[in-house]
Structure 1
Amino acid sequence: MYEGFKSMSPVIQALIATLFTWGMTAAGAALVFFSKGTNQKFMDSMLAFAGGVMIAASYWSLLAPAIEMASDQAVPQWFPAVVGFLLGGFFLLLVDKLLPMFKNYPYLHDIDTNDNKRRTTLLVFSMTLHNIPEGLAVGVAFGALASSFSEAALAGAIALGIGIGIQNFPEGVAVSMPLRREGMSRKKSFFFGQFSGMVEPISALIGATAVIYIEPLLPYALSFAAGAMIFVVAKEIIPGSQEKGNTEIASISLLIGFAVMMTLDVALG
């Protein structure tokens, strides 16, 4: 099975990987069929775990390969990683500034409106926006294989997909459960919960195709995805996991998430 996957084009590999991450989002959203509510400590720990996964993936699966690839370019080896990383973070900051409809990021929060339809729209839209850099990251990681294939690089891309899939599970829960609490049916709550992950295969295809045809941009693209992911972790995931007072379990869960993703990357890569 692994040999068959390895023989596929990077674009198809990226698509398969992000179909898995989308499936994990759907699996998390499916909990709405089996549970009437969520345990806050569990949600906070899962959210922090996801943050740890994203931090580790940002370095081992994105920044480290970007720095290595930049050794063949005319600019200093650190330059593409620094520029891409900062651009990724500032891009999401700009997106935040251009979305005045949000008073606060609605990830596991109540949205500041009394209109249930608007609340649903904002919750799903915000989570979908959050998933774009994750899909791009997976797409870019697999797209990089077209120019510099190695078993280690393939393993790192697979580990990134697995790690993002793991952290997508609580994201699906974070959308479907609040919608259910608002009175939406279980089926609709599940539909909107899994829908937020649908953007990942699309953005992965864009990322993989772009870096294949514009190879010099590859280190910048990898670093861009890393910067976007770190921005999400710093601005949304870590504060969101600790705002209910579960700081210790959230901190420990973040460490565990980092360790799991680090192990996946190092063991597979």
Structure 2
Amino acid sequence: MSFFLKLDPVWQAFLATLFTWGMTALGAALVFLTKRANQKFLDSMLGFAGGVMIAASFWSLIAPALEMAESGSVPEWVPAAVGFLLGGLFLSLINKLIPHLHPNLPMRKAEGMHSERKRRSTLLVLAVTLHNIPEGLAVGVSFGAAATELSSAGVTGALALAIGIGIQNFPEGTAVSMPLRRDGMSRLKSFGYGQLSGMVEPIAAVIGAAAVVTIEPLLPYALSFAAGAMIFVVAEEVIPASQEEGNKDLASMALMVGFTVMMILDVALG
């Protein structure tokens, strides 16, 4: 642990997101054990993931952004509000541009430009990859913020965020590999596509950490941007997907559990 604490924030972010990528791969590996996961289990895991992302957006991202902005020349709410809205707008635009297909939906429900020209496997991976961009970015900017020694943005808080993101990545890997296996793809290929969706997180984390370390005034905006992007993902996809099979109460309670777990992680470790 002492070795990790001495590393540059960019390296810290990279190593932390290797863990989150590994959790995606672990979820995808369930395809080696079964061809079909229990729907209630999947919906509860999605709800749990949504709760983790909502809690992380405030405790690990917006709260430090507000604290950092207190010493700025503009009202402290301005960077948080601007960054948060820009993060949601960014994900909205990406959703419209990049072809993707959310798990358990037919090909006719594919979104983005020229989606009908892509294979189902590619579209599924791209859908989860879109979700992982703000998650990797969030971890990266959190470690960048930790370098400023803010009381609410320490390395342990960034580690708590990485742990929370890793936990909620587990069902994302499963959400890609299982549908592909049901479609007749081999277990090995299904696993490969499932874990591939998590590869973007270390890349996004390194970019985020490097950007805020290089240009420190960007920090409150970057933290809030990552929060807005994650909340957009939760509202647009995670919560609706967790409830579309009718398990609304189960998914809602799982969301609350996820929120509580992430809050405890952030407060206890941060």
Task: Provide TM-score, normalisation by structure 2.
Answer: 0.94
What amino acid sits opposite 1:169 in the alignment?
A: F
Amino acid at match of 2:60: S
Superposed CA deviations along residues 214-240 of structure 1, whole A, max 9, x for unmatched, are: 110000000000000000001100000
Map of 1:127 onto structure 2: 128
CA distance in 2, matches of 1:85, 1:198: 25
CA contact (8 A) 1:152 1:268 kept: no
Q: Secondary structure of 2:129's partner? A: helix
The superposition leaves residues 36-84 of structure 1 with CA deviations (integer Å, 9 ceiling, x where unpaired) of 2110000000000000000000000000000000111101011100000
Give the Cα–Cα distance (whole angstroms) in 2 for the partners of residues 223 and 60 of structure 1. Answer: 11
Aligned to 2:113: none
Q: Which runs of 5+ in 2 are unaligned?
A: 111-115
Q: Do the aligned partners of 1:62 and 1:225 also contact (CA within 8 Å) in 2?
A: yes
In 2, the alpha carbon distance for the partners of 1:97 and 1:117 equals: 15
Hey, which bits of structure 1, 4+ residues long, moved more than 3 A? Answer: 149-152
Matched, 1:58 2:57: yes
* In structure 2, C-alpha distance between the alignment counterparts of 1:216 and 1:151, rounded to whole Å: 17
Unpaired segments ≥5 residues, structure 1: none
Structure 1 counterpart of 2:216: 215
Q: Give the aligned partner of residue 106 of structure 1.
A: 102
Task: Give runs of aligned pairs for residues 154-169 of structure 1, distance below 5 A.
Answer: 154-169=155-170
Q: In the alignment, which residue of structure 2 is the partner of 1:255?
A: 256
Percent identity, aligned pairs only?
A: 68
Does 2:87 correspond to 1:91? no
Question: Within 2, Cα distance between the matches of 1:258 and 1:126?
Answer: 23
Query: In the alignment, is the contact (CA less than 8 A) between 1:107 and 1:236 conserved in 2?
Result: no
CA contact (8 A) 1:61 1:160 kept: yes
Of 146-155 and 232-241, more deviation after overlay is shown by 146-155
> Does 134-143 or 120-129 show the bigger shift?
120-129
Give 1:11's aligned residue: 10
User: 1:106 Cα deviation (Å)?
Assistant: 1.1
The one-letter code of the counterpart of 2:2 is E
Distance in 1, matches of 2:244 and 2:228, equals 23
3-state secondary structure, aligned to 1:97: helix
Aligned to 2:201: 200
Judge which range, 256-265 or 90-99, deviates more: 90-99
SS in structure 1 of the partner of residue 198 of structure 2: coil
TM-fit CA distance, 1:151? 8.6
Mapped partners of 2:204, 2:226: distance in 1: 11
CA distance in 2, matches of 1:84, 1:151: 18
Whether the 8 Å contact between 2:63 and 2:152 is mirrored in structure 1 is no
What code does the residue aligned with 1:61 have? S
**Code of the aligned partner of 2:103:** Y
Q: CA deviation at 1:145?
A: 2.1
- CA drift at 1:21: 0.1
The reply to whether residue 184 of structure 1 matches residue 185 of structure 2 is: yes
Alignment partner, residue 239 of structure 1: 240
Task: Give the C-alpha shift of residue 147 in structure 1.
Answer: 2.6
Farther-moved stretch of structure 1 (219-228 vs 128-137):
128-137
Report how many aligned residue pairs link the two structures. 265
Q: TM-score, normalised by structure 1?
A: 0.94
Q: Which digits, 9 at most, give the CA deviation of each residue in 1:121-144, with x for residues without a partner? A: 111111112111100000000011
- Please list the CA deviations of residues 152-193 of structure 1 after superposition, one character each: whole Å capped at 9, or x if unmatched: 611110010000000000000000000111111000000010
